[in-house]
């Protein structure tokens, strides 16, 4: 008689497309639930938790000015929040991966299934790296100790070191000769690399690169961390085939579980008209970062032509910075237009896909950015991510486009990102020529990454008899042509080394990580302290901000990294609000931990944290260790 089995095992069988699960069912003595699960059966369920990193992009998108939102408005203002919302990776690492992942690793080691053990440790390192960068201090040593009712917090410096140890241990196991008989279980159950251990080794090296890349502003980065980052970057993902992506099945409404579809696809309707491309993102992608009058703090408006009296173009109402970083508006010239904008952002132009092979038409589309919490931006109203102002749906947009598609994978890491991390390390250690070369590789790799997921739409004559709409508004052939022009043009291939700056590295990284890598972009913004003007080691009240205003570098300041980026209370035009009074003037530096686990059950441990206790009104403003140039200030 077969025992009852949990939904988890049924779901695993479905994910693995196993035709006969009978041999997996007779595994336990408990008639209500399994008391033993073979290690490899954990794997697909654990890897599928990668999607929860996308859940947390809902608050991260606004905090990085990748997205505006009418949903996570508190996060958009770096504000006070006691909630379970926006803490999905916390839930994933501690609960959904949790003991399942611990069991998988332990059982795999016991079975001498070294590849599976290495995969588990690499993925564990990735999850904890994501989590500590988002929340700061975490219960780590006490995390899975049975019987504890309270869990002590570990400080981030110890967590960082442990993450690198897990990743190193993963590499050790993955490099061992593996004689365990997996059959097809690894190929079927490994939703990321199909059991390819060589790529898992690269991924583990990549986790270490990411971990170290957050430390580039540490005073001891050059002496303590830089060489390790450079060494691991040489062993990390090198091409788009190494990119870490977790497969989704897609299928829209026809699949038994909606989670078979990508979180950003039309079937799950998460990118409805409550999320939009932020005006900073649009200005960066389109080369339209404006100039400000530093006395009035207003944008400088284009005046009518004195000879003709002609009014300025409403799409270009402001004077633009003379030196844009990504591209500029002279797109009639080869190499001045970055075609990634067509895939990563959205435009209402060409709704019937009539001109997706026409370069002039594609270059002249209009992209509008939102404010923090409204679709209304500085020059127009932003669309949703499917290129319309109405709510997206399969009826309107088919299965979606690019990474906003039902069957698009979840992206965890790319080779392009590794090159930008390497370029920053070289730059911070004075090896500018090496940084320049790595940076160019990174831009080229992101061009290829973006191309890989193009899903061209086709002409729909008013949708009458034409089937469902949807897809990308560019052909692969045109994208390839425009990509080659861009890579050989003035913003990449022909950029003089003498004009190369840190801004080129970090803003190209912003574009490459848009929007799937919002977590790493928030790391970069915080380690550079949002380009705030301050003296000493780090900003503070009355040294970087007051209770009402954050003092930020002007774009003309050569030390400003993120040109065009201004925080919510910078008091420049379109940034004239204030943070919640509980922030005491400070931008947020961490997201609070999950309310139901920590503030309900673990509050005594939170209260012990320094320098700001976890129960304080401004705990979200506590600067994480990676952003201090030295150690903790206590």
Give, in order, the Cα–Cα distances in Å from 372 to each of 71, 120, 233, 568. 10, 38, 35, 8
Contact 174, 204 (CB under 8 A): yes
Q: Tokens 């009240």 — which residue?
A: 541
Coil vs helix vs strand at 149: coil
| E-state strands within 270-334 | 275-277
% of the chain with per-residue pLDDT over 90: 86
Backbone angles phi, psi at 62, to 5 degrees: -65, -35
- Give the up-direction half-sphere exposure of residue 27: CA atoms within 13 A in the CB hemisphere: 16
pLDDT digits (tens, 9 = 90+) for 327-371: 999 999 999 999 999 999 999 999 889 999 999 999 999 999 999
On the question of pLDDT at 299 being above 70, the answer is: yes
pLDDT band at 75 (very low <50, low <70, confident <90, very high): confident
pLDDT in tens, 373-383: 999 999 999 99
More reliable by pLDDT, 343 or 29: 343
Q: Write the CB contacts of 7 (distance below 8 Å, at least 6 apart in sequence).
A: none
Place of tokens 């040294």: 543
pLDDT, tens digit, 9 for 90 and up, residues 588-612: 999 999 999 999 999 999 999 999 9
Distances (CA, A) of 91 to 56, 94, 417, 615: 11, 5, 26, 20
List Cα–Cα distances, 64 to 69, 166, 200, 562, 570, in angstroms.
12, 29, 29, 11, 15
| Count of positions (residues) in the chain | 634
Q: In this structure, how many other beta carbons lie within 10 angstroms of the beta carbon of residue 463? A: 13
Mean pLDDT value across residues 383-400: 90
Contact of 466 with 460, CB cutoff 8 Å: yes
Task: Give backbone dihedrals phi and psi of 46, rounded to 5 degrees, phi first.
Answer: -65, -45
- pLDDT tens sequence across 441-477: 999 999 999 999 999 998 877 665 555 688 999 999 9
pLDDT for the residue numbered 77: 87
| pLDDT for residue 19 is more than 60 | no
Unique residue bearing structure tokens 């590499």: 171
pLDDT of residue 282: 98
Candidates 398, 456, 51; CA nearest to 252 is 398
Does the pLDDT of residue 5 top 70, yes or no? Answer: no
Query: How confident is residue 28, by pLDDT bands cut at 50, 70 and 90?
Result: low
**Stretch among 221-235, 296-310, 494-508 having the lowest mean pLDDT:** 296-310
Measured distance CA(501)–CA(558) in Å, rounded: 9
The 3-state DSSP class for residue 320 equals strand
Query: Does 633 have pLDDT greater than 60?
Result: yes
The distance from CA 590 to its chain's CA centroid, rounded to whole angstroms, is 15
User: Can you list the alpha helix ranges (DSSP code H) found in 78-184?
Assistant: 88-91, 98-110, 114-135, 156-174
What torsion do the CA atoms of 483, 370, 320, 577 make, to the nearest 10 degrees? -140
DSSP 311: P
Residue given tokens 């919640």 in the structure block: 580
- In whole numbers, what is the pLDDT of the chain averaged over residues? 93
Looking at residue 14, what is its pLDDT?
40
- C-alpha to C-alpha distances, 303 to 287, 300, 319, 425, 528, nearest whole angstrom: 20, 9, 9, 43, 35
Residue 161 CA to residue 158 CA, distance in Å, equals 5
8-state DSSP, 94: I
Contact 346, 387 (CB under 8 A): yes
Closest CA to 213 of 269, 267, 163: 163
> What does the alpha-carbon distance between residue 122 and residue 167 come to, in Å, rounded to a whole number?
5
pLDDT, position 469: 81
The answer to whether the beta carbons of residues 42 and 116 sit under 8 Å apart is no
Is the bond preceding residue 133 a cis peptide, omega within 30 degrees? no
What pLDDT does 307 receive?
81
Pick from 586, 529, 596, 627: nearest CA to 80: 586
- Going by pLDDT thresholds of 50, 70 and 90, the confidence category of residue 306 is confident
């Amino acid at each position: 008689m077969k025992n009852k089995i949990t939904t988890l095992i049924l779901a695993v069988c479905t994910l693995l497309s196993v035709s006969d699960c009978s041999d997996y069912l007779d595994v336990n003595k408990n008639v209500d639930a399994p008391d033993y699960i073979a290690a490899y059966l954990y794997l697909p369920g654990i890897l599928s938790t990668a999607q929860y990193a996308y859940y947390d992009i809902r608050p991260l998108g606004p905090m990085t000015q990748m997205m505006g939102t009418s949903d996570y408005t508190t996060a958009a203002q770096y504000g006070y929040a006691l909630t379970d919302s926006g803490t999905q990776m916390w839930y994933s690492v501690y609960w959904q991966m949790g003991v399942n992942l611990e069991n998988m690793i332990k059982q795999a080691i016991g079975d001498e299934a070294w590849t599976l053990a290495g995969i588990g440790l690499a993925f564990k390192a990735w999850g904890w790296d994501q989590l500590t960068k988002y929340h700061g201090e975490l219960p780590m040593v006490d995390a899975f100790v049975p019987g504890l009712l309270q869990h002590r917090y570990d400080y981030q410096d110890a967590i960082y070191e442990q993450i690198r140890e897990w990743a190193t241990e993963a590499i050790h196991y993955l490099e061992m000769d593996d004689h365990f008989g997996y059959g097809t279980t690894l190929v079927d159950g490994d939703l990321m690399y199909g059991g390819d251990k060589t790529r898992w080794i690269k991924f583990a090296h990549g986790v270490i690169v990411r971990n170290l890349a957050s430390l580039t502003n540490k005073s001891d980065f050059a002496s303590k961390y830089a060489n390790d980052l450079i060494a691991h970057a040489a062993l990390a993902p090198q091409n788009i085939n190494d990119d870490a992506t977790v497969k989704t099945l897609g299928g829209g409404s026809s699949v038994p579980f909606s989670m078979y579809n990508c979180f950003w696809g039309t079937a799950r309707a998460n990118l409805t008209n409550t999320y939009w491309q932020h005006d900073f993102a649009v200005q960066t992608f389109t080369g339209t970062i404006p100039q400000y009058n530093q006395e009035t703090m207003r944008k400088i408006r284009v005046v009518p032509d004195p000879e003709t009296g002609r009014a300025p173009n409403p799409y270009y109402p402001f004077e633009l910075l003379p030196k844009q970083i990504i591209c500029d508006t002279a797109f009639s010239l080869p190499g001045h237009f970055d075609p990634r904008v067509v895939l990563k952002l959205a435009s209402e132009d060409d709704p019937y896909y009539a001109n997706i092979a026409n370069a002039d038409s594609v270059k002249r589309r209009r992209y509008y950015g939102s404010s923090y919490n409204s679709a209304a931006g500085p020059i127009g109203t932003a669309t949703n991510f499917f290129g319309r102002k109405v709510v997206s749906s399969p009826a309107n947009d088919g299965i979606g486009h690019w990474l906003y598609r039902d069957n698009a994978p979840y992206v965890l890491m790319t080779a392009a990102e590794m090159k930008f991390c390497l370029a920053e390390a070289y730059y911070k250690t004075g090896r500018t020529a090496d940084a320049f070369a790595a940076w160019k590789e990174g831009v080229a790799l992101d061009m290829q990454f973006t191309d890989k997921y193009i899903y061209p739409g086709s002409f729909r004559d008013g949708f009458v008899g034409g089937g469902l709409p949807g897809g990308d508004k560019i052909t692969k052939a045109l994208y390839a042509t425009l990509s080659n022009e861009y890579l050989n043009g003035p913003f990449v291939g022909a950029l003089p080394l003498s004009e190369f700056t840190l801004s080129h590295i970090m803003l190209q990284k912003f574009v490459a990580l848009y929007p799937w890598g919002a977590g790493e972009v928030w790391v970069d913004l915080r380690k550079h302290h949002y380009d705030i003007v301050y003296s000493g080691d780090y900003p503070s009240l009355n040294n970087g901000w007051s209770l009402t205003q954050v003092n930020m570098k002007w774009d003309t300041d050569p030390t400003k990294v993120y040109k065009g980026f201004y925080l919510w209370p910078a008091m420049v035009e379109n940034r004239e609000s204030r943070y919640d009074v509980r922030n005491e003037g400070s931008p947020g530096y961490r997201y609070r931990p999950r309310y139901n686990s920590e503030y309900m059950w673990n509050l005594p441990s939170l209260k012990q944290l320094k320098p700001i206790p976890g129960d304080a009104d401004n705990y979200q403003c506590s600067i994480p260790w990676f952003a201090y140039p030295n150690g903790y200030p206590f």
